[in-house]
Amino acid sequence: MSSRRVVVAGGGAAGFFAAITCAETAPDVEVTLLEKGPQFLSKVRISGGGRCNVTHACFEAREFAAHYPRGGQALIAPFKTFQASDTVAWFESRGVKLKTEKDGRMFPTTDTSQTILDCLLGAARAAGVKLVLNRGVERVVKRPEGGFELSLSDGELLACEGLLLATGGCRVPALGQLAVSLGHTLEPPVPSLFTFHLETPWVRGLAGVSVEAAEASVPGTGLRERGALLLTHWGLSGPVVLRLSAWGARELHGFNYRFPLRLNWLPHLGTEALAAELQSRRAAQPARLVVNTPLAPLTARLWEQLVLAAGIPGETRWADVSRAGRHALVQQLLRTELPVTGKSLNKDEFVTCGGVRLSEVNFKTMESRICPGLHFAGELLDIDGLTGGFNFQAAWTTGWLAGQAMAGEGPA
């Protein structure tokens, strides 16, 4: 039996990856993984709509790191050691093939997260990781002789030489207390990757309509994104909104999620080009109703609502649109301003912005700079990515580095 014990707190993506890496690299180390809940890998199971978006098909460290509103800079070097192609190879060497979708997201070819779950559980068991459910770490004290003594939720005490905290995003600060009790600072947690709640009746009336390339911005901030926009029963969603929510997680929290949102429905057109287009329509089809002649690529229903919102009544013909009317329509098409009144959950993926301060962690080994022997991995850190597989990749990479280091073979 080994004289060295490593404990991993948290049975999620990061904890499993670290535990497997450590146990495979150093078979003589006793690796115990403690999960406080009744299930391992519960987020992996529900991730990506039940398909698990494992990573993203982007194989350059700097480019990959640009997808993290928090933590990108710190992740560049780790990605040079373990990046998306390593994740693909890791799973493939264990019999799991990944496929890439048009937008770069990578999923198991089986299209079910169960494949990833089975792979991680199988690899952990094969490597001899001791897997324990329903036992959480409640308190940690540093032992005078080195290492830690853990108080577990069932009242037991457990001593170990190495400890990895992979307890996931701390939605509330209390969930980061183990790190704080060992001297670490938590960047205040706020949600990231949410959708926008709007009361505007015409927007809600268009639920299901999508626009392939809209531009959304928040006046008075530097927040501006382009991409697909989806109108929903509660407001707005789609990649452009999720990106805005991620890059603006702190600012939008500061506004209590009540702020004006500006939408440009035709960002490929400038004001003058659009005004000229409307003028030529007026000349070419003077007798047709404005609401019935949508401007591509806008859908007929969306166009109609934008025309009405610009104050042009439904029975107006192009010939009767005044200069002021055309001006109002240009404004509406390029600068619709809508009041956001709150945020809603993005059921596909949400993460926590905030967590353990990155300057307190050595990103070569994921070891604490404050408390030797303590390591971190995954969403507990102040790292969060955009949707698309970036959050899991951060968990795989930091978990792998921590696992190597705890095995005693981490890069110097």
Ligand X SMILES: Cc1cc2nc3c(=O)[nH]c(=O)nc-3n(C[C@H](O)[C@H](O)[C@H](O)COP(=O)(O)OP(=O)(O)OC[C@H]3O[C@@H](n4cnc5c(N)ncnc54)[C@H](O)[C@@H]3O)c2cc1C
User: Site for ligand X (CB under 6 A): which residue of 6, 7, 15, 123?
Assistant: 15
The amino acid at 338: L
| 371 is an interface residue for ligand X by CB under 6 A | no
In the complex, minimum distance from the CB of residue 166 to ligand X, in angstroms, rounded to a whole number: 5
Cα 140 to Cα 81, 163, 236, 368: the distances in Å are 30, 10, 43, 15
Quick one: 332 or 346, whose CB is closer to ligand X? 346
User: Site for ligand X (CB under 6 A): which residue of 167, 237, 245, 264?
Assistant: 167
Quick one: 113 or 305, whose CB is closer to ligand X? 113
Quick one: 53 or 336, whose CB is closer to ligand X? 53
User: Site for ligand X (CB under 6 A): which residue of 379, 382, 397, 400?
Assistant: 379
In the complex, minimum distance from the CB of residue 109 to ligand X, in angstroms, rounded to a whole number: 15
Provide the mask over 120-139, with x wherever binding to ligand X is found by CB under 6 A and - wherever it is not. ----------------xx--
Q: From 117, 161, 107, 138, select the one nearest 34 (Cα to Cα).
A: 138
Quick one: 302 or 395, whose CB is closer to ligand X? 395
Quick one: 215 or 382, whose CB is closer to ligand X? 382
Quick one: 11 or 162, whose CB is closer to ligand X? 11
Per this entry, what is the length of the chain? Answer: 412
* DSSP conformation class of 317: B
Quick one: 318 or 390, whose CB is closer to ligand X? 390
Give the largest CA-CA distance in the chain: 89
User: Site for ligand X (CB under 6 A): which residue of 192, 391, 397, 404?
Assistant: 391
| 382 is an interface residue for ligand X by CB under 6 A | no
Of 21-29, 209-217, 306-314, 391-399, which part binds ligand X (CB under 6 A)? 391-399
Residue appearing with tokens 């146990």: 23
How far, in Å, CA of 15 to CA of 348, rounded?
22
* DSSP conformation class of 267: T
In terms of DSSP H, where are the helices of 82-168?
Answer: 84-92, 113-126
| 407 is an interface residue for ligand X by CB under 6 A | no
Angle between the 323-335 and 271-284 helix axes, to the nearest 10 degrees? 130
Phi, psi of 304 (to 5 degrees): -55, -45
Q: From 307, 401, 333, select the one nearest 363 (Cα to Cα).
A: 401
**SS3 state of residue 197:** strand
| 395 is an interface residue for ligand X by CB under 6 A | yes
* DSSP conformation class of 384: B
How far, in Å, CA of 47 to CA of 283, rounded?
53
User: Site for ligand X (CB under 6 A): which residue of 23, 29, 34, 240?
Assistant: 34
| 36 is an interface residue for ligand X by CB under 6 A | yes
Phi, psi of 30 (to 5 degrees): -85, 115
| 191 is an interface residue for ligand X by CB under 6 A | no
How far, in Å, CA of 170 to CA of 351, rounded?
9
How many residues lie near ligand X (CB under 6 A)?
A: 35
User: Site for ligand X (CB under 6 A): which residue of 350, 363, 396, 400?
Assistant: 350
| 195 is an interface residue for ligand X by CB under 6 A | no
| 58 is an interface residue for ligand X by CB under 6 A | no
Residue appearing with tokens 């991680």: 120
User: Site for ligand X (CB under 6 A): which residue of 48, 108, 191, 248?
Assistant: 48
Helix (H) or strand (E) holding 301: helix 300-309
Q: From 320, 326, 322, select the one nearest 307 (Cα to Cα).
A: 326
User: Site for ligand X (CB under 6 A): which residue of 69, 378, 403, 410?
Assistant: 378
Residues that bind ligand X (CB under 6 A): 9-15, 34-37, 42-43, 46-48, 52-53, 136-137, 166-168, 348-351, 378-380, 389-392, 395
